[in-house]
Chain A
């Protein structure tokens, strides 16, 4: 994006309240003409999880909160729709809490409907029926019976009984409920509305409800009876977001995004939805673009994907941050639909098709975005962030979204490759090589050979070094230490058992030296058991024989390097071959004259 675009935003910051402290989730904020005079209000829920504070339903007139009332349960979603054709046209606001839908008109609650509960498993209903008849029971038997049924299939009442510990409480609890059949509530997980007969701003809409156990209900807007009931999919799929297009009376498509990653479609008359798209990653949000009915899906891996209504993928884009919510931005005056993409860290991108056309920022990560009329203003974006800030942004009437190409390919090509400059040293060296390549080569090869030779020598030296000889196979390690200046020395041997699991037994150490040079106090040491990872120390005293003659006559018997040695062998009983052998180079005696 060019700099000029950056500086001039298309959005006016109308109001930001950082202290609002709201916890509002997606699909929990709507803009609706709540009193029927064309003055659009913002209706949101404020979720509270603590036991002592209740979640609240809040209404903002303009930027001011005008209404605030408690909700009985955790709100799941909010809808608003016109239920009838009566003048003045006042919409109904519906709030789904648990398994119930609360309906408000003029901000007054006027109706509550409950989603039909799930059928109980046969065993459980049988059990409670007999209980009701007999009015007498043995709590242990009941527990036993209940345990036979998979826990998740039980009604919440029976689940609670199983969780109770003392038999007294269990009995009390059962007594309390003995006169009624248990129900297994079907929690509402998402809601939407569908136009009934006409496409029109004031048309009558039917609420649609999706539940935890995969049912979809379409309700009658007047008496809230069930008009149509269907299952989401033929596999286990929990509705998560519902979007619809079409008219209920004629033909419609309900698109259901599921927790399991399916996007299912449900059409008029179907009793069971069909899986349309399967998405590998988790679906974060979904909007349906009116007109083409393209499905735009945001996934947890920063992906934004667009599919046709038949489930063919149109395009994919990757966003800079992970997406937290989507919002459809319809601009009726220029007949354009955009999608606002709220991302972590507060960035909001506006996509038109696959193209990023604009962006704006929120104080922190947006939790929910709504776009529509607020008060007298036509195009307002309301953002409630994760941090609880509420922010209103007005789209300037002069905002122009005509096509503007972003960074084009020729611009990219203009950038030169980041290559280092040729240095003088490099040139000099290559010049020299050109002049005397053969010599350089030969010297290099010679030096290389020499280096190899030195390395090999060092290796040999190291191998024959007396300190720290080991035998990996037998897991022993021997090190020697010579103390003293001579002619008397003490040789200390340390035999270490490297094996962390096994003990070493049956070893003995033999010293071997030329009697002309040295006499030792002991020549054979029997080594006791060495526990794993421990070592055993032994010592022997060495006396150098100080005869002048011997040292001269037996030069031939000296080691090649001219040092006198003592050899050490570690042997196992009955085995003639030593398992470890070492040579100790003895230091020459320092004669004190």
Chain B
């Protein structure tokens, strides 16, 4: 941090300048410094991305701009926020609650991560937008509604005159995020803080929201502070990038420089950990070759023929068909990657194979047992050969049992050990296999980090040496750098134990890294299936093409070209 940067920070033209911000939280374990001497300046019409993994202090820094730190926190330093016309400057750190209230919305607004929880379900979106307008000055109900309709139109909600009276549940996820953005925009603030605005959205919807955010800068002249952990999103949108690690800024550069020549070691690590499409092809080829040499007469472990899974509807309504006529098979020792958006039925298929969801039509054969109409009693013996890794490592462990108890559970249940003490030797071996120290067995799940927990979860799933492992988005709750290591571990384990696997993910790049074959699901139907090279190299189905084009890559120049390609694709579709 040289004098030159400090000079730039105090410049009058900046919309917000954060100087030496420190935020400390009071926790049960004593004071925790979440933000440690951070200085950032945002110029008008600039998109600044703050990146870093969870716990890096990026969210706390951004929320501090709105004075939204919880009461257990104490802040020092200064955050000078200027209004759009420069008529007032406020130091957020010292500002009173009243002053903060009046500038929220007018000078700075926030877009939240999860649009479905940021909107109140019992009021119409028009009412919620008008609420913001009327909180900042006496505007009649009618005028406020007019403004609401206008702003909805500008964020791209079709037919805003009618839809202003809709309730949040009547919008799709992407449209809800547009409404949230409209609420942030309606008082025309000079700065918008967007906290992971696209994390909860599907890739194709994410691309649309990123386009909208870019338009905010171009059409509304709004500066944006973007918090994200997704380097692709950063490459797509940001002008300047601030990399944070453990409460400190480790690097700050404009986007192109950062991606082409990162300076700090941490940034280099972070960029290297991001999976790219195309990495997996060579590996997959080698694996397929190995498998063919090993055993040519492999029988499929899972065979699905015209599989149909319906969830029963409420009284008087038909059921919801989550999976519709899907056929695929998984051979022994093969990794099938299942890709699709939320609601595409990918998790349902995984759960059906594990016997957690009922199959309602077609045929699904798992390890030689027909799942259509099977009873739990008949399936229990097959469970020995099935492992399951859940999405959220935080909730897939019983919080009151130690890691060793949890990992020993399958061994105890299937009579391989009398109790968890008896199984301890095997548990230690398993923990070693997933590269966790033995001593971790005595800890409780909350004492482990997300990545460590997911590794323990892998240890539990392979405890019985299963023939089939179902992994349901095992890395989507993890940071990029942690994800890379868990994926590596998965590959190693798969090679060592040779289990067949269904790997479910929404991230094409992750699936590409691991899978021998990739299946793409869209609205409950299988639209494309083939090797990684076939599906990702030359996608046939328009949905796969769009999915692939929507995936932002961590390279600003490359991403710009892809963005234009996507727009062409959309123009053809529309």
A binds B: no
Residues of chain A touching chain B, judged by Cβ–Cβ distance below 8 Å, are: none
